[in-house]
Amino acid sequence: MEQWIDQGIVLSARAHGEGGAVLSLLTEKHGRHNGYVHGAKSSKMRGLMEAGTILEVEWKSRVADQLGHFAFEHGKNTAAMILGDPMKLAALLSACSLCDATLPEREGHPGLFNGMKALLDTLQSEIWGAAYVLWELALLKELGFGLDLTRCVAGGDSRTLTYVSPKSGCAVSLKEGYPYKDKLLLIPDFLKPEPVKEIDEEEILKGLKMTGYFLENWVFAHHSQGVPAPRLRFASVFAKKYNPAAESAA
């Protein structure tokens, strides 16, 4: 009998059989892991199986490579804490869907797990938008697609980093990048070397466009399903709310 106990974050749940479901978790020690849950349609279980819920879970299987079963009794439903803010809820669903779609099953990612927990906490704060962009940057790095926003790839002044090259994922300074600005992505102010005191929605939107480009063209370039719908929806509703002119023009 194979067995372990771990902490996990619910990424998704899909119905399986008459009363069960297959639950996808991002666990601290065992990576993204699937397991079958009995009685998933009960009112108690449905509340525990919502995306973003943090569980103390036990997994059992007769052999290691089988689906196995999850068992749990309690959990912290983070989605319930932000139900009054559709934008934050959309961000939560986006993050869960990205993990579910990109992480290989049973491959350890303890850093990403801890980063996801931190994001769930930060979604309840005023800096949640910038935190989400930083989390996507961490996800890109974890997947082997890290961006270099610390220096100018063209040898320019690192104090004036303004753009990102869509080809290399490296930063470009204002002077060196300006002639090609229409072909480059913008770096949000909160990711530049010089610190900023306030982070507005326009800067968050720049960050979402930047990370969204690399998710689409690097991470999901060869995925048949493409970028998960919750991530597309989050970016769309954020742009529509905070920059409706740009959204309608697109």
Report domain extents, the chain: 2-77, 81-249
**Nearest residue to 70 (alpha-carbon basis) of 102, 105, 104, 34:** 34
Question: For residue 116, what pLDDT is reported?
Answer: 98
For 108-135, the pLDDT digits (tens) are 999 999 999 999 999 999 999 999 999 9
User: pLDDT tens, 173-197?
Assistant: 999 999 999 999 999 999 998 878 7
**81-249: CATH topology:** de novo design (two linked rop proteins) (1.20.1440)
Instruction: Using DSSP bridges, classify how beta strands 161-164 and 185-186 pair: parallel, antiparallel or unpaired.
Output: antiparallel
* Packing angle of the helix pair 128-142, 201-214 (nearest 10 deg): 20
Q: 2-77 adopts what CATH topology?
A: OB fold (Dihydrolipoamide Acetyltransferase, E2P) (2.40.50)
pLDDT of 128 reads 97
Per residue in 235-246, pLDDT (tens digit) is 999 999 987 665
| φ and ψ at residue 14, rounded to 5 degrees | -130, 135
Q: Residue 249: what pLDDT?
A: 37
- Reported in sequence order, the residue ranges of the chain that DSSP labels E, i.e. its strands, are 2-16, 20-27, 31-37, 53-61, 69-71, 75-77, 148-152, 161-164, 170-173, 185-186
Give mean pLDDT in consecutive 10-residue pieces for the chain, a chain of 250 residues.
96 92 97 96 89 97 94 93 95 98 96 97 96 98 97 96 98 98 97 86 97 98 94 97 60
